[in-house]
Structure 1
Amino acid sequence: MKRTVIVGAGIAGLATALRLARDGWQPIVVERAPVRRSGGYLVNLLGGGYDAVERLGLVPALAEHALGPFTTVLVRADGRPKLTVPSVVAEAALGPRTLTVFRGDLEDVLYEAVRDRAEIRFGTTVESVDQDADRVVVRLSDGTTEEADLLVGADGVHSATRTTLFGTGHRVDLPYVVAAFPLIRPPEAVPASSATTFIGPGRTAAIVNLGPRRSSAFFTYRCADPERELQRGPVPALRAAFGDVAGGVPEALRDLEAEPVNAYFDRVSQVDLPQWSSGRTVLLGDAAWCVSLFAGHGAALALAGADQLGTALGRHGDDVRSALTEWETGLRAEVVKRQALARRGMYQYAPPSRLHVWLNEVTIRVLTLPGIRGLVRRGIERQNR
């Protein structure tokens, strides 16, 4: 039986473990965190991401967590509505083969599907990696040494596996930070089954009210020194950046202050690598290509990457290097496209001026016109092919 060591128990790592386990591999997943983490932001699984969860048999389980469409209300800083985007607009744009779920729910479904098929070790890191033409030897912080046919680094944008393989300098930090966290209770200032979104120069705040345990907050803003913002911590940083914004933001920040441990709070980055593999070691997901939250396809790309890796390995048998070359060749064009879209997405999430805010609103108003929805859907379907 072929063996693989997978670094990282997030979406990319768990999806890779599940796909390879189904193909007869023996996966060992190691995760730095001592326990599984929860929370996160909304992700849309469409295109290759939807195809992957369908092939893995996860659609029924994910459907139980699907959030479905909801109305979005663009608001002014004082909470007064500017523009309502009906749920049917999102439905038309995304198409029928789409699932919208919280990132934490996606990880839960993946974990439950793979926990009996793979060995998963928390609180464990990789201390060294040696490889030759036939095997890779991984020494772990728990004192064990594992020999495997393949090492997969799926340990995220701050990947230690990437640094071990290719050194530093491949993470491109953008002048933005992002925060996302679940809300303790549905925000009263936001109508049920809807989201309020404030978009101003250099910042966005979105508060989603889909009921108990289904409500969340998302913030991003431009800043001169993201590292300084991270050192301040999510509560003081977000209060300074959004203290003047209403529309559910004050309630969300109070929830954050009560349970800051559940918040995702980080700089916005991309990863630019000339290659994703070296010998029998490969990077996957954000560790390899992080497109950033501004692209909106990170989870889908991680799932598609895991699925396509399994296909390539199955096609090439014992020739792991040829499989990795074929896999990267087939996936890189999509990643490059998504990274470019993310750079343009900065103008939507953090528009540089009031003029850009206004232009974005004009675009949204046009997209709500019934005759335009079909054109948007067909355009998105072409992008996802």
Structure 2
Amino acid sequence: MLDAQTNATKPDHAAADHPKVPAPKIGVLLANLGTPDATDYWSMRRYLNEFLSDKRVIDYPAWKWQPLLQLIILTKRPFTSGAAYRSIWNNEADESPLLTITKDQTKAMTELMQARYGDQVMVDYCMRYGNPSTESKVKAMVAAGCTKILFFPLYPQYAGATTGTANDQFFRALMKETRQPAARTIEDYFENPAYIEALAQSIERAYAAEESKPEMLVVSYHGMPKRYLMQGDPYHCKCQKQTRLLKERLGWDDTQIKTTFQSVFGTEEWLKPYTVEEVARLAKEDGKKHIAVVAPAFAADCIETLEEINEEIKESFEEAGGEKFTYIPCLNDDAAHMEALAGIVDENLKGWIG
């Protein structure tokens, strides 16, 4: 995708043996969580080891956490996680859906940037965990002539375990560059009006396609230990505000929409209510027969949406007496979504490009 020799020339008055220098460009680097390379045991183990060894994700002391991780968790979990990934794997491309969708988003963003700025801006993507790594893509952008890089973690709401660690990895990659580019990171965008509009439109389309209107929209965000909130992580507050903004845009009241949190891991208390428990309660105690679930913490469908929500959480609702479960996909490469993200890029490129 990146060609270091495109428009490369020798500097004026340079010696004959001076290497060619690529024409200066601005890089836009989209960043997502990550993906295993395959679903076999060792591929899953490498991926899970990198992910679960991140101190932003699991902040227990290494002496306490690493023996548990290496000797117990990584002995068993690659098998169960591999099976979960196999249930959603893109077999045609032999890659995870997250990787497929991130490629599609990158293609769409490339087209939008070319329409605006021509060859002055190049777009690529990286993953925090797994491949392609952040370091490899920063290195490739610098080699291709990027003297400025705008780093865009695709997380609408800031959390230390998502945006924070993505930025950490970006800065670590910059530390290894002899000639560092100027760098900017993008602030979270959960309250961006164009983004809220794109999300609301996707919900309205999903509701319009149903024969019967869902009785409740469950807005399920990825969870985190409650302790992180107490330590100052703003993620919980941002999720609550996003649901409120979405509710106001849709013109609904509190009886039609509810915030929950999924993907609980370990034994300590996480942000509540837990999605898997709340959907069962809605069916069993409130008598809801038809609910819809949307997951706006994710910019692209992934294991947490395609497998956890559309299989495990759906099963919890149905076993409790629910009859119709509607999963509303992530925005992925939806045109309105990509225009919203491109608008955010435009705003952050000010001062760098005319």
> Shared topology, TM-score over 0.5?
no
> Scaled by the length of structure 1, what TM-score is found?
0.29
User: In proportion to residue count, which structure has more helix?
Assistant: 2
Higher RCO (C-alpha under 8 Å, 6+ residues apart):
1
> Scaled by the length of structure 2, what TM-score is found?
0.30
